[in-house]
Structure 1
Amino acid sequence: MGSGRLRVRDPHGWAHCLTEAVQLFGAATDVVLASHHWPVWGREDALAFLSEQRDLYAYLHDQTLRMINQGLTGPEIAERMQLPPALERAWHTHGYYGSVSHNTKAVYQRYMGWFDGNPARLWAHPPAEAATRYVDFMGGAGEVLRRARQSYAQGDFRWVAEVVHHVLFADPGNTEARALQADALEQLGYGSENGTWRNFYLTGALELRHGSVGTPATTASEDLINTLTLDQLFDSLAIRVDGPRSWDADVTVRWHLGDGRGPSTLRLKNGVLTHVRGLGPAGGEPDVEITLDEPALRGLLLGRAALADLVAQGRARVCGDPARLAELTGHLTEPDPDFAIVTP
């Protein structure tokens, strides 16, 4: 299940597949090569590895559902979940990458979603607004930090991280809160067996001390973009539309790519960018039609080429008002890879 931060995977299905793998290939297996693990050599050890992995995922899945049916919530189940001794003794079931706590919550999320059924959490204030109220109720930032320092001295770093979080979201510039929270997160990181948790804790401490570090990764690399279909590329543009700013926009652009392919139509209306193969809804007239090849279209949509330049180079033909394309793309926003994690 990995870190559980992407789409929640199916541990029940994975356990079933491992059982099937043992049944189909166990008698002929000499080595197992698995992600996040060293290879396992020898048939006996390989089958034990596969079987214990199967039992691990099945246990987490089945016991989470058992406790859901007893009325427990995700965090409550994660705190109670304990592996059987035989699985606990196996080195490869330990939380070096994923963790029992993290994955248990992911199982809960898969079946129950974000809401745990308690109406007190149905319409809670967002973090910054809630933090201001928490700090006020707890006697102000100074009192929260005084008591948090006592908890830190007692080694209750989880509680320090939880309560000082409220001070930071109420007052991100509070230097005492930033220092204490960074120290608490650092201690939690040092004590974490799980690599991804350790990275979260230590990155949070780094951010508090030195500012947001962002990410060196980019989702707009040439190699990645080239693997997207045009439909996927249009979808990637749709999630960049600034909805509120484009509520009143109504722009239709039709693309002609040649090569025997029919037209593709983009329409921005009601803050939604829709794309269809063909003439579009009801076959209405577009504001602008542009004929070009696919590489030129990709460059245009990604901001790597200008329409006027493509026309001047003979790589594009325009029928209608080209300013309407600029109007459409003007409603797109750029992702921010440097957003903060531990401050609002």
Structure 2
Amino acid sequence: MRNSQKRCTAIVLASALFTTGAFAAPNGATEATKKANQEIADYLPFSNTQDFEDAKRGFIADLPSPIIKGEAGNTVIDLSQYDFLKKEGASPDTVNPSLWRQSQLLAIRGLFEVVEGVYQVRNVDLANVTFVRGKTGWIVIDPLTSSETAKAALDLVNDKVENLPVSAVIFTHSHVDHFAGLRAIVDEEDVKSGKIPVIAPDGFMEEAVSENVFAGNVMSRRASYMYGNLLPKDPQGNVGGGLGLTTAAGTITLFEPSKIITKTGEKMVVDGLDVEFQMAPGTEAPAEMLFYFPQYKIIDLAEDANHTLHNILTMRGAKVRSAKKWADTLSETIEMWGDDAVASIGSHHWPQWGQEKVVEHLEKQRDLYKYINDQTLRMANQGMTMHEIAEAFVLPDSLGKEFYNRGYYGNLKHNVRATYQLYQGFWDGNPSNLDPLPPAEEAKKYVEMVGADKMLATAQAAYDNGEYRWSATVGNKLVFADPSNQKARDLTANALEQMGYQAESGPARNFYLTGAKELRDGVQKAATPNTSSPDIIRGMTPAMLFDYLGVRLNPEKAAGKDLTLNLRFTDLEQDYTLTVKNSVLNYKAEAAEEPDVSLTISKADLDDIQLGVATLEEQVANGKLKIEGRQEAFTEFLGMLDTFEFWFEMVAP
């Protein structure tokens, strides 16, 4: 179990550590790319600088250093790598001017006052952390991606505003960039004793631990693309992620919240402040909530209203979200607090001030998601397929010219396809597409039919004409037919690169440019942090663990096997039966009468094995793991479990 758990959780932390060596240099922007980027510059109201004024409003202080290090001297985040974004003047030819503007806004970092008593530390990590002045101390909202960045933020507000104890913590939702700095903020014993409440939405703990477990390896690999972690940080590489600049590669921490909010309208007094809650499950996260501080007249929008179009389906991969549910939630937010709020804040980006601006922002974000939902369905009902809808989809100017509705993080076409998928699935209904050939086999048949030289010439002509999507499509067929065809790899990389330079979405840009890099240089097995933190692993319930073992079960190795294993967790005083039959692992919460083998161990000691703190052999030798019955049955069971290679090919078969 030890190796297989290495990258099963908390996928957003694939780090910017990369190997050195002779890599192919990127190209500049072509005339076609310059023209495409100029069209965006001409369309959007770049003369409106209100966002820059708002992003700087209330500035108090920056971090003492742009580099935050861990206890071992490791670099957790180096914000100075993005200093190139402070350059004034026109955007570089190699960056979409709208994305460049967004990235410049995200480079405005430090401690800010929202209103007297409410402060945010922004852009020292992927997300914001908010500090609300309670009766006795700081109510901390969303303590970032790592304990190191959370501590730096807490130190900053204590130093520059007021040195206060932490009196409460509130999690808006279950994504790792909003909870993982918890242990730098509060002591677990103070929470268990009831001294300091940690408040979270219903389902938080299960979702926080499980979201990235079952498909964790593939999600992590795709996240290394999505966040541009393997790209240099410069105008030809990573310029940020649209939602934030980058993620911290520090220590992930978590423990059980002490108070769970379960219904909209629920109210709670937190360190002398009234807080009103709105549930928002299944919007941006499976477990999410928004809330309102009447004394400050501030709405915390969590991640349901931002200065970007968000993801209906994240490019790293996850369960598709409902644009309609998202819109309905924001309508409810307006109804609950829109008449009274004087400001709104979120888990990312900068606030809105003034009741009219707060409501206008909420209305236009709501209408953005409602438009995506309704118009995707309208066109689907006209018989248009997923890709046809995405190609034809256009936002009205009243929505599309609002900078906070642009696709800096979520991509409009991707979200339209995701909405189609939610209602209709990925198949377009054409029986010719019901059972397509696998990509490599299909590619070989295309090359056999057309000829490699002809296809290469076609891809080159398309590139020369600025038809980069078609050039990449043809080039990709050649690469999948023959991965050693370096001319095809280089040409496809060239096309993807220009598409990256044109992309308004940070994640889309990062996907294109990382794909181009790997086509040229091959897969570089860079060092990445172990994101399976002890708190995440220990937070897995037995059911989560057994479900994950079922994912790892290799059907060929399990073929014809009929095994029954009893497992008793001594610390939980609970027995389980695991069975392997029909190449499927099932389990139930009781002991079998005649198992092939019985294991007795505490859940904590099994966690130590998963975390690499101890081996199976060591736990047997020290008596912490007792095995009774046919021991070879346990060895046989372990031999059926796959381990997952992280650095699998993404742009080649």
**TM-score bracket, shorter-length normalisation:** over 0.9
Specify the SS of the correspondent of 1:263: strand
CA–CA separation in structure 1 for the residues paired with 2:399 and 2:356:
17
- Structure having the higher strand fraction is 2
2:471 paired with 1:160: yes
CA–CA separation in structure 2 for the residues paired with 1:97 and 1:306:
42
**5 Å matches for 1:299-338?**
299-300=608-609, 305-338=614-647
Residue type at the aligned position of 2:580: L
CA–CA separation in structure 2 for the residues paired with 1:303 and 1:266:
23
Kept in 2: contact 1:37–1:92 (CA 8 A) = no
> Which residue number in structure 2 is paired with residue 339 of structure 1?
648
- Cα 1:179–1:307, aligned 2, differ >3 Å: closer, same or farther? closer
User: Per-residue CA shift, 1:245-285, capped at 9, x if unaligned?
Assistant: 21112221111223572311111121111121002xxx441
**5 Å matches for 1:80-91?**
80-91=392-403
2:493 paired with 1:182: yes
The answer to which of 49-58 and 270-279 deviates more is 270-279
CA–CA separation in structure 1 for the residues paired with 2:422 and 2:441:
28
What fraction of aligned residue pairs are identical, expressed as a percent?
41
CA–CA separation in structure 2 for the residues paired with 1:275 and 1:174:
48
Residue type at the aligned position of 2:389: I
> Which residue number in structure 2 is paired with residue 14 of structure 1?
326
- Cα 1:134–1:242, aligned 2, differ >3 Å: closer, same or farther? same
CA–CA separation in structure 1 for the residues paired with 2:479 and 2:401:
40
2:545 paired with 1:233: yes
> Which residue number in structure 2 is paired with residue 294 of structure 1?
603
Kept in 2: contact 1:3–1:97 (CA 8 A) = no
CA positional deviation for 1:146: 1.0
Q: 1:106 aligns with which of 397, 418, 441?
A: 418
Residue type at the aligned position of 1:291: T
CA positional deviation for 1:307: 4.0
> Which residue number in structure 2 is paired with residue 207 of structure 1?
518
> Which residue number in structure 1 is paired with residue 351 of structure 2?
39
Specify the SS of the correspondent of 2:552: coil
CA–CA separation in structure 1 for the residues paired with 2:621 and 2:567:
18
Specify the SS of the correspondent of 2:339: helix
User: Per-residue CA shift, 1:161-205, capped at 9, x if unaligned?
Assistant: 111110000000001001101111000000101111101100100
User: Per-residue CA shift, 1:235-254, capped at 9, x if unaligned?
Assistant: 11110111122111222111
- Cα 1:203–1:136, aligned 2, differ >3 Å: closer, same or farther? same
* TM-score under structure 1 length normalisation: 0.94
Q: 1:256 aligns with which of 562, 568, 572?
A: 568
CA positional deviation for 1:309: 2.8
Kept in 2: contact 1:36–1:97 (CA 8 A) = no
Kept in 2: contact 1:131–1:167 (CA 8 A) = yes
CA–CA separation in structure 2 for the residues paired with 1:260 and 1:272:
26
CA–CA separation in structure 1 for the residues paired with 2:472 and 2:570:
58
Kept in 2: contact 1:252–1:265 (CA 8 A) = yes
2:577 paired with 1:268: no
The answer to which of 197-206 and 210-219 deviates more is 210-219
Query: RMSD value over aligned CA atoms?
Result: 1.8
CA–CA separation in structure 2 for the residues paired with 1:39 and 1:77:
34
CA–CA separation in structure 2 for the residues paired with 1:302 and 1:242:
22
CA–CA separation in structure 1 for the residues paired with 2:531 and 2:554:
19
Residue type at the aligned position of 1:328: F
CA positional deviation for 1:316: 2.8
Specify the SS of the correspondent of 1:256: strand
Kept in 1: contact 2:538–2:604 (CA 8 A) = no
Query: Which segments of 5 or more consecutive residues in structure 1 lack a partner in the other structure?
Result: none
Specify the SS of the correspondent of 2:646: coil
CA positional deviation for 1:134: 1.0
Kept in 1: contact 2:342–2:358 (CA 8 A) = yes
CA–CA separation in structure 2 for the residues paired with 1:75 and 1:217:
37
Kept in 1: contact 2:312–2:323 (CA 8 A) = no
Specify the SS of the correspondent of 1:28: coil
Q: 1:133 aligns with which of 412, 437, 445?
A: 445
CA positional deviation for 1:44: 1.1
CA–CA separation in structure 1 for the residues paired with 2:382 and 2:333:
33
Kept in 2: contact 1:3–1:196 (CA 8 A) = no
CA positional deviation for 1:3: 6.1
> Which residue number in structure 1 is paired with residue 272 of structure 2?
none
CA–CA separation in structure 2 for the residues paired with 1:134 and 1:303:
47
